[in-house]
Amino acid sequence: MSDETLFVVGSVTAIGCGLMAGLFFAFSVAVMPGFRRIAPSSGLSAMQAINLVIVNPIFLLVFLGTAVTAAALVISVVWRGVDLVTAHFVFGGTLYLVGVILVTAVVNVPMNNAIAPLDALAPESARRWQDYQKRWTAWNHVRTVAALFATAVLIFGLSALHH
């Protein structure tokens, strides 16, 4: 991959990681704490609605498009060889792929699927919602930190590319 192409792919990936870090951060510090302040049935209903509407073309473009460009950065080491730039790009890309994509696929999405059929007004749903909130939010913190660090590492790689 040429330096120019690497710069474009690295920039797009860093922007995507930053967007995802912001989304996850908002859930960690505002959305989920806000849900804890309202009735469990309301929080559960709201999260069920969010889980439906989040799967839209814009979200998927950023979330999965960033995975594609992150993978391209990881693979770029094959053509470029190992140096400071590729080390940053490989580390940043891997952080996103493992800390965001893998965690989402293995933890958050299955948890979302598990609450999808719940009747928000059923008494047993309140307990399941409270368990969900704690575990889902903890793993969302992992995604937030991974996306944030991926953004920073990629920015360092972009800086190293032009020095």
Q: How many CB atoms lie within 10 A of CB 31?
A: 18
Encode burial over 50-68: b for 16+ CB neighbours within 10 A, e otherwise.
ebeeeeeeeeeebbeebbe
Alpha carbon of residue 21 to chain centroid? 6
Orientation angle between helical segments 84-96 and 123-161, nearest 10 degrees:
170
Span 137-150, pLDDT tens digits: 999 999 999 999 99
Span 62-119, pLDDT tens digits: 999 999 999 999 998 878 878 888 899 999 999 999 999 999 999 999 999 999 999 9
Q: Name which residue leads in pLDDT, 2 or 57.
A: 57
The phi and psi torsions of 128 (rounded to 5 degrees) equal -65, -40
DSSP label of 122:
S
Picking from 110, 100, 117, 116, the residue whose alpha carbon sits closest to that of residue 136 is: 110
Q: How many CB atoms lie within 10 A of CB 47?
A: 24
User: 0.85 exceeded by the pTM?
Assistant: yes
Structural domain boundaries enclosing 64: 3-161
Q: How many structural domains are present in the chain?
A: 1
